[in-house]
Structures are given as C-alpha cells and as structure tokens.
Chain A
Amino acid sequence: MELQLNEMSDEDLVAASREGNKNAYATLVRRHAKKVYAVCVGILGNVTETEDIFQDTFVRGMTQIGSLRDARSFAAWIAQIARNLCRDHLRRQHRHRELIERQAEEPETGGGDFNELHEALAKLPEKYRLPLMLFYFDGKSADRLAEELEMTRAGACTRLFRARNELRKLLAKRDGTQ
C-alpha cells in the first residue's frame, strides 16, 4: 500500500486525501516537506519558529484541501500557504525590523552544531536566504530554483552567487576573520 502511494501522482494523492485517506496526505507531506521547510526557514530565518509554521502549513493544507481545484498544483499551493503563514506571522509580530535587531542581540539558534550558521541565516536578507534554502533543500537544482523564484536560470544563479557572498561575509564576521 505504502509503495503504491509513493508511486501515485500528486493529483491522485490529493483526490485520495479528499476522500479521507490520511495515508495519502501523509505521502504528500513527505513528498513536499523539505520544500515547505525551506520556504519557512527562508522567510522566517529562524528554525524554532519555522517548526511551528511548517506544521501549521500542512495541517491547514489538510483542512482546506477541498478548496484546491487543480490537484496537480498541490506543490505550488502548499508552498503558497507556507508563504502566507510566514508573512502573517511576521506581520503579526511586527517583526520585519525587530527580527534583525533582536537576533543580533539575542541569537535564537535552535541549538545543535549550526549555531553560527543559524545566526548568519537570521541576519541574511530574505532575498538571499530564501534562494539559498530552496536550492539546498530542493536538490541543488538551478532549474527548479529559477522556477520557484520565477526567474531565468541565469538570474537565479546570480542571486545564489550573491547570497553565498553575503552569507560568507556574515560567517566571516562571526569567525572574526573580517
């Protein structure tokens, strides 16, 4: 059964989910989780808050799946829900500016071996952070990144190049090498 679900298209999984098949929805979650996570961390820049919004995204997707009319576009639809929830979250907390300031003083890293990276990502502007996250979480494909950002491939590569450079500067500051 599991194998069959994994082989099904998004369209068929959406149809099954609408009929109450939660295993089908679980397959959709697994299939698109990394991209949604990338969107959340890319916009929020904070792994702790990302976990909450990430979960909210898929729970909301489940409850609203009846309103998804083109079942083939589940990936874009669920990513859009994630974006909206992230923006709402930031808006509600009036955090666009405060985020940078607060995190500069009180880094909220989420722990682990990536504290410095978390801090650097938090300070990285969203226009660079989101492409980086999408690229690394979604198979390092420039073509998919370009599609996601609605840019040309060359434009996406340029954005990625600048994002790497900005990230390097932030990491270097943490290292004290700059």
Chain B
Amino acid sequence: MNDQCQDIREKIASALVDDVLPTDWQTVETHLAECPGCRQYQEDLLEDDQLLTSFVESAEQTVSRLEGQIMESIENTQVDAPAAGPRISADGLWRWTFQSRLIKAAAAAVVVLGIVFAINLFDRGSGSNAVWARVIKQVEDAKDFICRVSQDNSSSPDLDMVKYHSTEFGERTDIYRRGSDHLAAAQYLRQDDNTMYVIIHRDKSYALVELNEKQMAEMTRSSAKELVELFRSYEFEEIGERTIDGVKAIGIEVKNPEIFAGVFDKSQIRLWVDRDTEWPVKIEYEAEGQGGKVRTNAVMHDFQWNPALGASDFEFEIPSDYKMIGQVEAVKNDQAGAIDGFRDYADFAGGRYPSKLTVATAIHDVEDEISRRRRDGELGKDDMTKFMRIQNACAFFAELDKENKDPAYYGDKVGPRDFDKVLMRWRIDDGQYRVVYGDLRVEDVDAARLGELEDQ
C-alpha cells in the first residue's frame, strides 16, 4: 500500500460518514478500478459497516427491553425534587462549616474508639480479647463506609445527613433539613487539592474551605494504626449494654476528647458496638460552647461498612450560576497566623476580640453583626474570609494547650486599645513566657513580669 492507497482509503471511509461522497469521488473510482487491495478494503469496510449497523439495530431491541426494566425499577423510587422549604442560609454557612469538623471528628472516632477500647482491654487481659481483636480487624479493613447523621442544633435548623466516606476518593455529605427529602446542601472533601466545598443549593451559592496538610490528614485518615497513635491517650468509661434497633450493643463513653478542642468547650462521645456482628452501630455525641449557649447533639447511625463506593459517588460540579459566598483559608496554626486572626476579627467585630478562644464562641459573639451586615448588604465574601481567620488563633491556642505550654487568653476583658494588657500568653522556655498584648505587640517576659502584667 502506498501513500495514494492510504489517501484513497481515507476517502472511502469518509464516504461512510454522513453518507456523503467526497467531491473528488471520481478519482477514488479510477483508483479502485486499478487497485485490488483498495477494492478489497472497500468491500471489507462496507461489510463491517453493515455488521455494525445491524449490531446497533439489534441492540436497540435490547435497549427497549432495558428501558422497561428501568422504569419498573424506579416505579417506587422517590424523585429528588428541587429544594423548596429547606433553607440553609449564608448566615448558617459558617456554623455549618465548623460543625462539619465536629461531624468529621466524630466519624473518625467511630473507627478510633473501637480500636482504643480494644487495646485497653488487651492490656487488662480481658476475656473478651478475641471479640475486640475481630472488631479491630474489621475496622482496620474497612476502607469505606456510609452512615446517617441526625444533628440537633441550638441555634440553627436540625439536620439529617448522609455521609459517604472513602479513603480513596474523599468524603461527601448530603444535607437535609429535618423532615424534608429535598437536598438542601452538600459538602465535598477533596483529597487531591486539600479543599472542602460546601454547596448550598437553595441559595445557589457555595463556599470553599482550604485545609492544611495536617487537617486534611486528620479528616481523611482511617488507617487504624495512625488513628490509634492519635487518640491512644483517651480515657473512657464502659457504659454497659443497650439494645439499639433490636441489636444488643456494648458501649463506651469518652469525655472532652481533644479532637474538639478549639471548637467546643465541652463534649462527650458514646460509641456502641454490636455484640454479634462486632461492627460499630451507633455513635452519639454532645458538645457545647459559650457556656452552654451553643449546643449540638448528634447521632450517627445506620452504618454500612465497605459499601464499595466509587469515584462517581464523590464527583460534583458547581453550576455556573452559583455564586461563591466565602472562602476560608487554610488554618495557619502558628503565632503569626494567630495574630493575623486577632487583627482581622477585631476589624470585623468593631474593635473586640472573641470572649473565649473557641470557634463556636467566636462565631456566636458576632452573629448579630453578621446578620445586620447581611441585611444591609454590607457583607462581602472578603469580610467573611477575614473574620474566619480567627480559627488560626483558636487552633494555635488548642495546640499550645495540648502541648501543656500553659496558655491563657483574656479576650473577654482585653481589647485592641489595651496596649499594656495581656491578651494571650504561653510558656516558650523555662521561666520565659511569650505575651501578646491587646494591641497585638509581642514580648517575651519572665514569670515575675508576667505576674505583674496579669495583676493589672
């Protein structure tokens, strides 16, 4: 076959497209009269074309049969109607974003607590070692799970969620307002670029939350070994047996796990494990902040372990007409990030710092201001981005506390004009403390000087 044959064969194939002959078809016919190879090619091609056409006609009968089966399958399926009643507003979005951390932490705890419990039982030489060894093995092997979360909130609508978790593909949470079947919002956690998207369908809006490496690792890990290292220090109480949905379960309770530090003041988690199947069946958590003014109670239930989730379960598109209403930057869990957070928060809040350094309190303290600005059309996404930098300070404070660096915070009494008063301090070395004053100056002082400053 030479170049001319190649050219002719392309033309022959072209003739089968749209059933239109090339304009220079005469040249093709002249060549075909002289070239047996190309004649054979044309015959084969026409034969294949007929074969494919017949195959499609045959498949159309199959398709018709399948259409009937499809309609039978969905005859009793609830059609997902557009969001009508449920509403999760931009005001609630930020609470949402941080509640999601709570949910995430609790989801992780489902895996974690079973392991920790088991390890402690091993240490005691309990007779139920074998049971917990199997629980560990099951949980270790469980890469994916689905569960439902029912969450009651003191200052926002009660929500029902369905959470899909995959160690390979990320996490998706479908969010419904209690009593509604309409998808109100969805949250997607993407491991490939360390981001979380919160999409509010009713408002046609979305927010982007950037996560740092550590946050993402904590939010997505389900490797049992890593989790055990993280939560090994938890103390728990055995809380006996209970029948849950007809299942006999044994439970444990953990109070104030550090995963909620910086988010809520107080929290407790109860884990229930099916005695027969040895899978976690329910987890209950209660958390409160701002002296009990902000409360969240939730139940995670209806677990499905290893449901074979795929990439398509975690893919999403943000429609072009959706508006971004906020972008939360990755937490900078260090001194500089904390000071940026204080500065921007005070700027937003009219010259005051959060009364307590938890995200729940920080949001609660400015809720009225957020509502007012939103009502007056003064709330831009950049404002919210700045305001939310306070999470840097919350995370930094929690980290200092975790590391026993004796941190203290006086935002309830100290404002930006208090240049000589201690806003926050922590121990940096033997006898030395780092002090952040109300005007955000930083100074290192010894314990005696710190005492004088704090007595003011």
Contacts and interface: CB of A to CB of B under 8 A. Distances in A.
Interface of A: 17-20, 22, 25-26, 29-30, 33-34, 37, 41, 47, 51, 54-55, 58-59, 62-67, 69-70, 81, 84-85, 87-89, 91-92, 112-114, 117, 132, 135-137, 140-142, 157, 160-161, 164, 167-168, 171-172
B439 to A, nearest CB: 48
Interface stretch (B57-65, B130-138, B230-238): B57-65
A59 B13 contact: no
B51 A117 contact: yes
Interface stretch (B29-37, B218-226, B304-312): B304-312
A9 B181 CA distance: 26
A91 B75 CA distance: 30
Interface pairs A-B: 4 shortest CB-CB: A66-B80, A88-B310, A84-B312, A69-B319
Interface string B304-339: 000010111001000111100000000000000000
Interface in B175-230: 182-183, 186, 201, 204
B86 to A, nearest CB: 12
Interface in B1-33: 9-10, 13-14, 16-19
B56 A55 contact: no
Contacts of B48: 164, 167-168, 171
Max chain A CB contacts within 10 Å: which of B54, B83, B201, B312?
A: B312
29 contacts: A18-B80, A19-B79, A20-B81, A30-B67, A33-B63, A37-B62, A37-B63, A37-B66, A51-B62, A55-B70, A58-B70, A59-B70, A59-B74, A59-B77, A62-B79, A66-B83, A67-B183, A67-B186, A67-B201, A69-B321, A81-B312, A84-B310, A87-B312, A88-B312, A114-B51, A117-B55, A140-B19, A161-B10, A171-B51
A37 to B, nearest CB: 5
B80 A29 contact: no
Nearest to A85: B312
A64 B183 CA distance: 10
A81 B311 CA distance: 11
B71 A37 contact: no
Given A55-B70, A168-B44, A66 B79 contact: yes
Nearest to B76: A22
A69 B320 CA distance: 9
A4 B56 CA distance: 28
B70 A29 contact: yes
B52 interface: yes
Question: What range describes how many residues of B lie at the interface?
Answer: 35 or more
A66 B81 contact: yes
A91 B311 contact: yes
Contact of A17 (B63, B79, B183, B308): B79
Given A58-B70, A59-B74, A168 B310 contact: no
A37 B65 CA distance: 12
Nearest to A16: B79
Given A18-B79, A84-B310, A114 B58 contact: yes
Contacts of B60: 34
A132 B52 contact: yes
Contacts of B10: 161
B120 interface: no
A102 B312 CA distance: 26
A55 B69 contact: yes
Contacts of B311: 84, 87-88, 91
A67 B79 CA distance: 11
Contact of B77 (A19, A54, A62, A92): A62
B312 A117 contact: no
Nearest to B14: A157
B124 to A, nearest CB: 41
